[in-house]
Amino acid sequence: MTTARLTLDARFPIGAVRRRLFGGFVEHLGRHVYDGIYEPGHPEADEQGFRRDVLELVRELGVSMIRYPGGNFVSGFRWEDSVGPRDERPRRLDLAWHSTETNEVGLHEFSDWLDKAGSELMLAVNLGTRGTLEAIDLLEYSNLPAGTALSQRRIDNGREAPFDVRVWCLGNEMDGPWQLGHRSAEDYGKLAAQTAKGMRQLDPSIELVVCGSSGAQMPTFGEWERVVLTHTYDDVDMISCHAYYQEHDGDIDSFLASSVDTDRFIEAVVATADHVGAVRGSAKKIDISFDEWNVWYIDRVASEKPTALDDWPVAPRLLEDVYSAVDAVVFGSLMISLIAHANRVASASLAQLVNVIAPIMTEPGGPAWRQTTFFPFSITSRLARGEALRVQVEAPTVDTAKHGTVPTVDAVATHDAETGEAAVFLVHRGRDEPVEVTIDVSGLGEVELVETHLLHDDDPYASNTLEDRERVGTSPLEDARIADGILHVTLPPIAWAALALRRTV
């Protein structure tokens, strides 16, 4: 048994935990939309063809804002294809995923689905193969109440009230050579600034996200952010971060320490943004939209797309990763990192939601179920309220090949001063023995334990599958107790946990 000592105090807040931190991402990719959220022939389908069982799980997951419709998909997308009478919508090649897009589900249908899911729409415009005018057109179609050709077209298409989309992404991963219309930081920065200015001329109240690097491992990382922000600083509110992690060659220690990389990534982007602000003498701060994050086994066969000239399937099985208990532990630690940077991470989108590197899986004509990663997301999204609190951690360390020497325990807390509710989120990266954790919570006043959740499996590679849909879940932490302002809890190796507390006096 090892030991760890944690201290937190309501007087040391990091920043408000904004609901948009618990966002998601739906891309037209594989079986995400078709045979995922939408399956008209399914026994659970509603009058619009949306699966009720999937909607119920999405609501349970607690996803605030959902980024749409891509991803790489958006860089070849003509938004006009996806509105208007369905039987007149064209079938198109989706070059990003070598698939056929039928456009059966488009902006109007997706917005209806979001209303049912209780989530907000975040739209991405195509700055890969299209430009400023098409982006402004989409904004006019979406947000202008009435009185022009495009707003009238929306009304004629059945939607009287504007969609009133608040947050817009200026393209997707424009630094990536795989991206249709990929360009240099200079060229993208100019295009993004021009597009942002135009969109704001139409609707000054929208929030804009400019593309950061598609990962901290990109050769242009850092310089890309500096150049792009130099062009766009006054015109945007956020810069995007994307990060995916996987276990490489059995190096589980590095994988378990992935969130250390997320911490460094966020801090590097914040430093770069603040540098650009300082050079400009600007008091404005650019926040982060961490709009793609997850565990993704990108090298596995599940992520291979078709290549043949005559093979452009509709809704192929792509990126259908099956997540294990250890994946969920890492996933939970990524959420800890996002909350621990709540002062600058204004918004985040789990990539993705259904079937495609997703917490929710479905089978056509069959059931829908929760992957292991579902649990840390739904629990954190439900319990994290108020302000994020810094947690001081004293814990043993582990040497990792990729991230250096890291503590075996990481944690963050949240506290809602109004309701007196608090929560502590913990990860134990140690692999060999349990850790006895003591958490000094006296800085929260008199509190009691309300609920506890442990995600751990004696087989770290256990997962939930079609055949065994509830193999991995969470269980209460039976030994958790508070005595004299100290919370005591024991975590097994490779574990994620959440503890909810409430003020008693």
- The residues binding ligand AHR (CB under 6 A) are 27, 70-72, 172-173, 214, 292, 351-352
Distance CA 247, CA 402 (A): 11
- Tell me the closest approach of the beta carbon of residue 124 to ligand AHR, in angstroms: 9
Taking the alpha carbons of 35, 36, 40, 42 in that order, is the dihedral positive or negative? positive
Residues 6+ apart with CB under 8 A from 464: 322, 323, 361, 369, 370, 371, 372, 470, 471, 472
Nearer to ligand AHR, 77 or 425 (CB): 77
- Tell me the closest approach of the beta carbon of residue 214 to ligand AHR, in angstroms: 6
DSSP per-residue letters across 414-432: EEETTTTEEEEEEEE--SS
Distance CA 108, CA 111 (A): 5
84 phi, psi to nearest 5 deg: 90, 180
- Tell me the closest approach of the beta carbon of residue 70 to ligand AHR, in angstroms: 6
Residue closest to ligand AHR when measured from CB atoms: 71
Nearer to ligand AHR, 334 or 441 (CB): 334
Nearer to ligand AHR, 68 or 496 (CB): 68
Tell me, what amino acid is at 211?
C
Nearer to ligand AHR, 109 or 292 (CB): 292
DSSP per-residue letters across 264-323: HHHHHHHHHHHHHHHHHT-----EEEEEEEEE--TTSGGGPPP--TT---SS---S-PPP
Active-site residue flag, 292: yes
The closest alpha carbon to 200, from 155, 162, 153, 143, belongs to 143
**b (16+ CB within 10 A) / e for 243-268:** bbbbbeeeebbbbbbbbbbbbebbeb
Residues 6+ apart with CB under 8 A from 63: 22, 23, 24, 117, 119, 350, 353, 381
Distance CA 110, CA 108 (A): 5
Active-site pick, 39, 292, 387, 421: 292
Active-site pick, 173, 225, 247, 421: 173
Residues 6+ apart with CB under 8 A from 217: none
Distance CA 50, CA 55 (A): 8
Nearer to ligand AHR, 71 or 407 (CB): 71
Nearer to ligand AHR, 93 or 417 (CB): 93
- Tell me the closest approach of the beta carbon of residue 97 to ligand AHR, in angstroms: 8
Distance CA 410, CA 406 (A): 9
- Tell me the closest approach of the beta carbon of residue 269 to ligand AHR, in angstroms: 17
In the numeric block, the tokens 């048994």 are attached to 1
- Tell me the closest approach of the beta carbon of residue 169 to ligand AHR, in angstroms: 10
Nearer to ligand AHR, 68 or 141 (CB): 68
Nearer to ligand AHR, 151 or 349 (CB): 349
- Tell me the closest approach of the beta carbon of residue 64 to ligand AHR, in angstroms: 18
- Tell me the closest approach of the beta carbon of residue 242 to ligand AHR, in angstroms: 6
Give yes or no for a cis peptide into 352 (omega within 30° of 0): yes
Nearer to ligand AHR, 261 or 292 (CB): 292
- Tell me the closest approach of the beta carbon of residue 213 to ligand AHR, in angstroms: 11
Supply the residues annotated as catalytic.
173, 292
